[in-house]
Structures are given as C-alpha cells and as structure tokens.
Amino acid sequence: MKSSFRILRIQGNDIERFIELVELLNEVFEESNKVASKRQLKKLLKKSDFHAVAVIKDDKIIGGLTAYELERYYTDRSELYIYDIAVKKEFHNQGIGKELIAYLREYSMRNGIESIFVEAHSEDEQAVKFYESTFGEGEKVDHFNLEIEATSNTKQNKSSDDKVSRKN
C-alpha cells in the first residue's frame, strides 16, 4: 500500500499545503476550527521543533499529523508530542496511520529523540485501539485546560510583555 502514497514534511513557505492539512484535520475530527492566518502558519513552518507531515495520494492530502518536539531538562534528549493525527475516513484501515507513526519513529531515531507520545480521549475507542496497536498499552492521565480569554488590549500589551517592571 505504501507505494500508492508518499509522506512528506511540510516546511518553509508551503502554506497552501499546510492549509489543506489543517482543513483535513478539521474535516476528520468534525471540528469547526478556523485556519490561522498565513503569517501564523508561516511562523509555525519555520520552527524546527514543529512538524507538519502529510500523506499525499494523487496530489491530495489524505492524512497527516502535527507534532512538537519538546526539549527536556532531565536528559539531553527530547521527545515528540503528536498534537493531531488523522486519516480521511475512506482511507482508514489501510496502514496509513501506522506509516505516519513509522515516519516519526525513523525521524526520531535519526535525530536523537527519545520518545513519542500522544493523547486520546478514552471514549474515542477507534483512536485508543489504534494507539494501543501502535504504541502499546497507554497510561491514564487527567488533562486540564486553562482557557485564556483575549482582551482588546492583547495586541497592544504584547510588545510590552517583555518589559515587565519589577519592584525591589
């Protein structure tokens, strides 16, 4: 099956392909998230610790993932966090997700990355089953989000964030 598609890392100024990947993630996850500005997407693609990986078949993205390389302070080796991974429904159960993980594993071995991890909602049985077959047994954790509401002053204050005054 692998010969009928190719896997590549989206980098540089390939904004249109990155937008196509984000739209695929929204479609597969049935999300209504917007796509960030082209400036933001370009900024992400220029970061060496950000990975946008696409599966291409007939010049269309049929799957992909985004991941972040996290530097650690307990060891000199980093780890990869898979933020999103998805394959279009009509291509499920064809080994494409496993090929994406294999791509990251090979990259990690070549670049001194010690581990790869991902989160899945317990109730998403298909995802949990996929990760168990790919990573092995998972561990139960609680995940908490602290939502930060943007204010109208956010942009104005952004430039002064680095100039925090300290009282002695």
**All domains of the chain in start order, with CATH:** 2-163 (3.40.630.30)
3-state DSSP assignment of residue 95: coil
**pTM score, whole prediction:** 0.84
Residues 105-124 pLDDT 10s: 999 999 999 999 999 999 99
3-state DSSP assignment of residue 34: coil
What are the CA-CA distances from residue 146 to residues 23, 69, 107, 135 (Å)?
25, 22, 32, 28
Say if residues 51 and 10 touch (Cβ distance below 8 Å). no
Residues 30-67 pLDDT 10s: 998 889 999 999 999 999 999 999 999 999 999 999 99
